[in-house]
Amino acid sequence: MTTAGTAHETTTRPGPAAARQHSLREHNLELVARAVFEVPEPLSRAGVATATGLARATVSTLVDQLVAAGLVRELPAVTGGRAGRPAVPLVPAPRTVVGLGLEVNVDYLGARVLDLTGDVVAERVVPGSFHDSDPTAVLARLGALARELSDEVTASGMTVAGARLALPGLVDPRAGTLQVAPNLGWSSIEPVPLLGLDLDVQVANEAKLAALAELAGGSDVAAPDSFVFVSGDVGIGAAIVVDRRLFLGERGWNGEIGHVVVDPAGPRCSCGAFGCLEQYAGKEAMMRAAGLPADAPLADLVARLRADDADLPAGRALGSALADFVNLIDIGTIVLGGAYTELLPWLRADVEAALTERVLAAPFVDLQVRAAQAGPHAALTGGAREVLARVLADPSAWV
């Protein structure tokens, strides 16, 4: 018993220390990775040591590991005109580890691959009509699209770290379920198994992923620290960003501004209520108001508006709903994405008038309405970025 006990103590005593050492390495790897990824100008090893407070020798070892893992790339050395070793700038590695963003929307399926630099390395967007569609068939089709892209980038030497699936409705990311998507006619489904992908896939709300893409920037106009992002398509979703973090509410189901009632006597909505905002400011509603087919391309509506051949009354309904939103949550910057980005020149006057008239704090704050900068199908970008954010949060898994 004594011998066995001694042997047991000998093998287990170093365990906690080893665990602490391993945890410290993981923590330091994340610090170094973030220092490289989250600066506007590339840092050298010395710069990373200064930014993190870690010893230069430790930083050099960790950087070597990140470079070997394909997460970080070294640029050609730069001499600063001073004595000593030239600085070697460090940047995110292109076309190595990539994230996959997927989306089902009412009128398209999409897949987009981003690398660690934020560049799009592959994408497919397939138009269609998915009102009251069969989720099994639609998600299988999207899964095939995703496999096509995944195989393409893998053949080029890249590794797909995972995927995010954007859906227009009430999504429970923790359970991996879609509770309801009125415009798709879907309810109570587990979408990930229906994709048939051999990847780590998580689900999220479309507007929230689009807001994260907006927050990440990528344009000359920086996103504000706090804003309401409104994604205008056939459906209308919103996301609330406070101090550069998504506000999710109790279950993550907030932001369903498309189902705010603007006229109780209005037309019946796909959700079952009457007079919802989507019936006035959704893309199909705007098309009908302009005398166009509901499934006409957005370019047709823009052409008519430029020719003064159509009216866009949606701005009044949208402004009314946004004013209620601002009164409730006290965020004065509205970022309009989706179809609203192109339509903003014709929406702005009515939206701003409603905000000025109906927001109680309007005389005391600077209310702003701006166009989104994240580009078309922003939820695809947001989804792929979220995958890569997980890589950055745990780079040790790749080393």
**242 and 309 assigned to the same domain:** yes
Instruction: Give the pLDDT score at 364.
Output: 96
Instruction: Give the pLDDT score at 13.
Output: 37
Q: The domain containing residue 120 runs over which residues?
A: 97-212+378-398
Supply 52's token pair.
């993190």
Starting at the edge strand found earlier in the chain, the sheet holding 170-172 runs 170-172, 177-181, 186-189
Residues with Cβ within 8 Å of 16's Cβ and at least 6 positions away in sequence, in order, are none
**256 and 362 assigned to the same domain:** yes
**177 and 137 assigned to the same domain:** yes
In angstroms, how far is CA 347 from the centroid of its own chain? Answer: 25
Last residue of a domain, one of 92, 118, 142: 92
Instruction: Sort 309 into a burial class: Cβ within 10 Å, 0-12 / 13-18 / 19+.
Output: exposed
Q: Is 127 part of any domain?
A: yes
**109 and 37 assigned to the same domain:** no
The DSSP output letter for 198 is: S
Instruction: Give the pLDDT score at 310.
Output: 87
**262 and 320 assigned to the same domain:** yes
Q: Report the CATH number at residue 171.
A: 3.30.420.40
Residues 166, 204: contact at Cβ < 8 Å?
yes
**327 and 232 assigned to the same domain:** yes
**102 and 9 assigned to the same domain:** no
Instruction: Give the pLDDT score at 218.
Output: 61
Q: Is 218 part of any domain?
A: no
Instruction: Give the pLDDT score at 9.
Output: 34
**361 and 391 assigned to the same domain:** no
Instruction: Give the pLDDT score at 25.
Output: 87
Helix (H) / strand (E) element for 350: namely helix 339-358
Q: Report the CATH number at residue 24.
A: 1.10.10.10
Angle at 144 between CA 140 and CA 118, to 5 degrees: 115
Q: Is 219 part of any domain?
A: no
Q: Is 277 part of any domain?
A: yes
**389 and 331 assigned to the same domain:** no
Instruction: Give the pLDDT score at 11.
Output: 32
CA separation, residue 297 to residues 125, 231, 270, 293 (Å): 14, 17, 21, 9
Q: Is 326 part of any domain?
A: yes
pLDDT tens for each residue of the chain, 399 residues long: 333 333 333 333 333 443 455 688 899 999 999 999 999 899 999 999 999 999 999 999 999 999 999 999 999 998 765 556 788 999 999 999 999 999 999 999 999 999 999 999 999 999 999 999 999 999 999 999 999 999 999 999 999 999 999 999 999 999 999 999 999 999 999 999 999 999 999 999 999 999 999 998 766 677 899 999 999 999 999 999 999 999 998 888 999 999 999 999 999 999 999 999 999 999 999 999 999 999 899 999 999 999 998 889 999 999 999 999 999 999 999 999 999 999 999 999 999 999 999 999 999 999 999 999 999 999 999 999 999 999 999 999 998
Domain count, the chain: 3
**328 and 388 assigned to the same domain:** no
Instruction: Tell me the pTM.
Output: 0.90
Q: Is 144 part of any domain?
A: yes
**307 and 356 assigned to the same domain:** yes
Instruction: Give the pLDDT score at 21.
Output: 57
